[in-house]
Chain A
Amino acid sequence: MNILVCVKRVPQTGGRIVLTADGQEIDTKFLGFTISPHEECGVEEAVRIIEAGGGSSAVLTLGPAAAEEQLRDAMALGIDRAILLETDGSEWDPMSTAAAIVDAVRTQEAANGPFDLIVFGNESADSGGFQVGIRVAVALGRPVVSGLKGLTMGSGSVTARRESAGGGWETYELTLPAVVGVKEGINLPRYPSVPGRLRARKKEVERVAVGATASRAALAAGSATGAPIGPVKVVLRLPEAQGSEVEILGRGAEAAPAVVDMLQRIGVLGS
């Protein structure tokens, strides 16, 4: 079994988001970075499948040189090798991202044999485009399902489970090679061990330069220039604050009667 997981480096935002003065990105001066949560579970799922059935796993990201940190995080959890599609740091649109990943998959597969499974997150945490994995699957002509919270490997196939809109679960049967989009909750990712971290630090990261912004349209179109791409970011904005005046009902256990008065007043508790 050969598995590829695609992850994205995103800022670890906290209590509130601060934008850069030009409104082009989140101000990350005081922030760390992480792997999108859905994809972190994708990493864990890949490691578990390989632990159970044998084989090899790889992690791939398209991002700045610093995204090496997220690749090493994934290797610390047990992923065997890493590929960095290195950009100049500018944000790529989903079509161009998918096109670059498709190119990389073809190159990797020509050298190392096919990936039985390519794992994506359901959506990236920062951009939330809900599309890169599906675009890659369609371009490669492989079956794909998104939103998954359960994978069971069979021989030559995978059974996938996802929550139905009306409650309950629906299942899908995918013939390998296949592509899946997973959600957080599919598993509980392990914490990296110290030896895992040390091993990950020494591993090679394969770097592929994917060029600067100007080449993206051509990439997305496969060849022709002037092809539609997008959405093309103009500016980021914070939504209007939903600020409310907070009424302090008290401190410590003595506040309990005031709390219950409030519960009765707003009608969630009968009086």
Chain B
Amino acid sequence: MSGPIVVLVEHAAGEPDRVSLETLAFARGLANALGGATVEALLFGDAGAGVGASLGAHGAATAHVVADARLAGAYAPGAWGATLGELATTRGAAAVLAPGSDRGAEVLAHAAARLGLPLAANVLSVTPGASWSVTRQRWAGSLLEDATLDAPIRLMSMAPHAVAVDERAGSAPAMVAPFAPNVGDADLVVRVTGHEPPAKGSISLTDAKVVVGGGRGVGSSDAFAELEELAELLGAAVGVSRVVTSNGWRPHTQQIGQTGQRIAPDLYIACGISGAIQHIVGCKSAKRILAINTDAESPIMGIADYAVIGDLHTIVPAISAEIRRRA
């Protein structure tokens, strides 16, 4: 029988994070495909034991909780990666999975580098066999790659939302087992040494129900006032394309796309945005898209649900005026 599948589980405030739970669901599917391997979670931090036990419902048989005072507090990428690698080796793991989050990707790369093994990032599906086949995302998901991944332990990070969370994958609580890794001081030198809380008040782009997006067609920093006005009326956040941030019209924190934020609002209003593939990967999870563009042939029309053809500088203020008129 195959060795277990080890899954890195991130958690905060006593709750496992969603992408980690998706990763557990993915691991269960892989375990079945392997003819009944076990799924074992690895958790760091003081709250790990409580969270770990609850992962039984998600199909984890064991929750290894790192018992090392040096590792209990601050996040330390190298030490976490060394720990993950060590656990995988001691357990004779067939595969190691991590969520495709900033930390998940980083910790897995540290594990891979230390083990001298290949790593496939942002995997969507895997077929084990004599040779393992994986499908992974490239270009932030605008392109897929079918590849083979052959190694004694297969290391993979999961593309977020590739599979759904499965809360009925198991019935018994996971067995909580303390894990004391052999991490050296050298692995601990890089760690979080300070925190700054988030700025209060503003609507976060990733949580907003409506996003008003502006691209090159807006034309200038000043002209964003028209979009701001509409956003204000709709309780929306303002987002932008890379052309806008490159021109210095708006801050990069508002950029949507491959190298910016991924949004999932109920409505995305794309004004003067052509719909380049790197922009689309950031907004394709929007429930509906309204495009406002002078060019009826613009690629954005290919994914928009609604469109108004014409100059945004007349259309956007007219929409704001109409909303006010009806209020």
Residues in A lying within 8 Å of B, measured CB to CB? 13-17, 26, 37-38, 93-95, 98, 123, 125-131, 134-135, 137-139, 141, 143-147, 162-175, 183-185, 188-189, 221, 227-239, 241-257, 259-260, 262-263, 266-269
Contact = CB atoms under 8 A, between A and B. Distances in A.
Contacts of B150: 228, 230, 232
A253 B314 contact: yes
B190 interface: yes
A247 B296 CA distance: 11
Contacts of B86: none
Interface stretch (B28-36, B43-51, B60-68, B115-123): B115-123
Contacts of B248: 188
A126 B121 CA distance: 12
Given A228-B151, A231-B118, 4 more contacts: A13-B277, A236-B143, A246-B307, A256-B319
7 closest A-B pairs by beta carbon, nearest first, are A167-B198, A185-B252, A15-B299, A228-B151, A231-B147, A138-B113, A253-B318
A212 to B, nearest CB: 20
A174 to B, nearest CB: 6
A235 B12 CA distance: 38
Contacts of A15: 274-277, 299
A260 B106 CA distance: 45
B193 A260 contact: no
B176 interface: no
B303 A244 contact: yes
Given A231-B145, A268-B209, A147 B102 contact: yes
Contact of A263 (B10, B12, B234, B296): B234
Interface string B102-136: 11011011101110111111100000000001101
Question: Range of interface residues on chain B?
Answer: 35 or more
A139 B115 CA distance: 11
B322 A257 contact: yes
B310 interface: yes
28 contacts: A26-B143, A128-B121, A131-B112, A131-B119, A131-B121, A143-B190, A147-B106, A165-B101, A170-B194, A170-B196, A185-B252, A185-B255, A228-B152, A230-B118, A230-B148, A230-B151, A231-B120, A232-B150, A235-B145, A237-B145, A239-B141, A243-B303, A252-B314, A263-B234, A266-B267, A267-B266, A269-B234, A269-B323
B315 interface: yes
Contacts of B303: 242-244
A101 B89 CA distance: 27
- Among B109, B116, B304, the one with the most A-chain Cβ atoms within 10 Å of its Cβ is B109
A242 B209 contact: no
A165 B147 contact: no
B272 to A, nearest CB: 14
Contacts of A93: 118
Given A128-B138, A129-B121, A17 B306 contact: no
Contacts of B109: 130-131, 134-135, 146
Contacts of B139: 13, 17, 125-126, 128
A172 B101 contact: no
Contacts of B12: 165-166
Interface string B173-214: 000000000000010011111111110000010000110000
B213 to A, nearest CB: 14
A171 B323 CA distance: 44
Contacts of B78: 138, 143-144
A231 B323 CA distance: 53
Interface stretch (B163-171, B216-224, B284-292): B284-292
Nearest to A185: B252
B152 A247 contact: no
B232 interface: no
